Amino acid sequence: MVILTDCRKAVLRHESPVGPLALDDLPRGNKMPLMIARLVSNWVYGGFLAAFLLLGLLPAFGQSCDLALILVYLQLPVYMIHQLEEHDDDRFRRFINQLLGRGGDVLSKTAVFVINVPGVWGVNLLSILLAFGLDIGFGLIGVYLTLINAVVHVAQAIRLRRYNPGLITALLLFLPVGGSALWAITAAGRVAPGYHLMGLGSALAIHLAIVAWVGVNVFKLRADRS
């Protein structure tokens, strides 16, 4: 009876074994089911484990692919490993909210989920499938996404003169793996300049959209406080 009572209280508080759920990120009357809320709150741990599954599958088809395709494929598991450093214990969201929102909520858990699952996993999946099925140049979408994110982490660390969540894996994984992929695709000599513009442009567009979203929320928060 005590256990059941505690469970009911936890559900009413929207808690999960790992941390608070994301139900309160949505407007009233539009609450997501508890299962979806748990996925939104704890996606990063599934992604981290999936990264090693993807790496373990590589030998099954890696021998039939050239180096450039393998490196394009690696962008996704490498990004998933990076995301654990960045988002474990909700640290990146808390970092941004403290830095830009002064404790206010300018980046919600739902937004973090959308940015990282469809926005990172989905974009990388599309990049990999197009690179394997159509042209290796499409792999530059995922490659530039990795490299631009690394540059953002490094630039922020230099500007603030402090660590930011994700910085270590950006340096140790993103720069070497992303840089190697860019070199391998370029060295193949069969990629038109338009693919580089497409890859760089899409990566910049994704990051600028995130900046714009957070910027709007910061403006709204300041307006509410004034």
pLDDT of 7: 40
Query: Which of 206, 187, 226 minimizes the C-alpha distance to 126?
Result: 206
Q: How many structural domains is the chain composed of?
A: 1
Compute the mean pLDDT over every residue in the chain, rounded to the nearest whole number: 86
pLDDT band at 2 (very low <50, low <70, confident <90, very high): very low
129 falls within a domain: yes
97 falls within a domain: yes
Q: Which domain holds residue 56?
A: 43-225
Indicate the angle between helix axes 193-225 and 91-100, nearest 10 degrees. Answer: 60
Residue scoring higher pLDDT (108 or 30): 108
**pTM to 2 decimals?**
0.83
pLDDT band at 9 (very low <50, low <70, confident <90, very high): very low
166 falls within a domain: yes
14 falls within a domain: no
**Residue 5: beta bridge partners?**
none
**Which residues neighbour 104 within 8 Å (Cβ) at sequence distance 6 or greater?**
97, 221, 225
150 falls within a domain: yes
Average pLDDT over residues 97-118: 90
pLDDT per position as a tens digit, 44-71: 999 999 999 999 999 888 777 889 999 9
> 138 is written with which tokens?
């499409």
pLDDT of 101: 81
214 falls within a domain: yes
pLDDT of 3: 41
10 falls within a domain: no
Q: How many residues does the chain have?
A: 226
pLDDT of 20: 52
